[in-house]
Structure 1
Amino acid sequence: MTLADFNQLPVEQAREELRTCCASTRWATEVAARRPYPGIDPLLSVSDAVLAVLTWDDVLEALAAHPRIGQRVTGGDRESAWSRREQSGMDDSPDDVRAALAEANADYEERFGHVFLIFASGRSDVEMLAAARERLGNDEAAERRVVHGELTKIVRLRLERLFG
């Protein structure tokens, strides 16, 4: 899909296209409402601005659509394909690292109440495991800032894939 095509979509269809990049209803609604976009950079700027002001409940809605790091994503839809590609650093991961990451995911979810989110593109399994363990030491406020930043990087990458 081109950005010009996206600009012409009915509002509901535009929101659905955007929700493959970020599952926050508020984000998708606000980004769709600010069309037309003359280029990818203005779209990314609006996306960043909207992401920056999402409530924590909006972020949790987005997080609910993300698989756990290391979880093999199935499905033939665009979002599943992107998740598999983004987590390709796990493709050849040995069983002991997978088990350690599953444990870190569980510890993280118990501590923070949501999935561990990390910009996984270009990161190895060991790097993601180390990040999960390190972030377990964050307090709630610090971790929320990290999650916002990671979500912003993921959404930017997905928007660039969708319209690049």
Structure 2
Amino acid sequence: MAALDDFNDEPADQAVQALRACNAAPRFAAEIVAGRPYRDVETLVGRAEEVTRALPWTDVAIALATHPRIGDRVDGSSAEAESSRREQSSMDDADATTRAALLEGNRAYEQRFDHVFLIRASGRSPEEMLAELRRRLDNDEEAERAEVTEQLAQITAIRVRELLA
């Protein structure tokens, strides 16, 4: 609980900075910080998911810009880079055929939707992510934006939990 107490008590600008590694949408961090103090981690995580799901598309797009493609090697030592490497660790075991199909699928997805394919990679195999990418290529823009927002909410929840671990 000490991590939650620290989060609740730290200066707002420091809390915002920490939260940007969880979700880069400016509105997200501002709303979460404004809701402090949180009584427990689950309340904070639930609020993080709720705020993310309510973000306008322009804010979701800002958050998307910080996410690497599925299958890309993530460089750097930032909190975002470390989270992405951890979340995509199952890609270390992907065979060459799956990697090539993901690369091709990412290109097709970005051409169709004009942003990276976002999926909660934690707990998913490369083959599952590839199947989801292929399925989502058939979405219309509205349906895909809803799926992206939901995936962002799930990723945000994981990262908020990690932040307080």
Aligned to 1:85: 86
Percent of pairs identical after alignment?
Answer: 51
Q: Which runs of 5+ in 2 are unaligned?
A: none
SS of structure 2 residue aligned to 1:91: helix
- TM superposition score normalised by structure 1: 0.96
Deviations 1:34-89 (A, max 9, x none): 11111112212221221122100000001110000000111122221111111111
SS of structure 2 residue aligned to 1:81: helix
Cα distance in 2, alignment partners of residues 49 and 135 from structure 1 = 23
Aligned to 2:101: 100
- Structure 1 stretches (4+) deviating beyond 4 angstroms? none
Aligned to 1:134: 135
Q: Is the 8 A contact 2:46 2:157 kept in 1?
A: no
Aligned to 2:35: 34
SS of structure 1 residue aligned to 2:68: coil
In the alignment, does 2:73 pair up with 1:72?
Answer: yes
Cα distance in 2, alignment partners of residues 116 and 67 from structure 1 = 9
Cα distance in 2, alignment partners of residues 44 and 93 from structure 1 = 31
Amino acid at match of 2:7: F
Aligned to 1:13: 14
Higher relative contact order (CA 8 A, sep 6+): 2
More displaced, 90-99 or 112-121? 90-99
- TM superposition score normalised by structure 2: 0.95
More displaced, 13-22 or 48-57? 48-57
Aligned to 2:57: 56
Q: Which runs of 5+ in 1 are unaligned?
A: none
In the alignment, does 2:47 pair up with 1:46?
Answer: yes
Cα distance in 2, alignment partners of residues 142 and 95 from structure 1 = 30
RMSD value, Cα: 1.2
Deviations 1:106-163 (A, max 9, x none): 1001101111000111111111111111100001111111111111111111111111
In the alignment, does 2:121 pair up with 1:120?
Answer: yes
Aligned to 1:147: 148
Equivalent pairs, count: 164
SS of structure 2 residue aligned to 1:22: coil
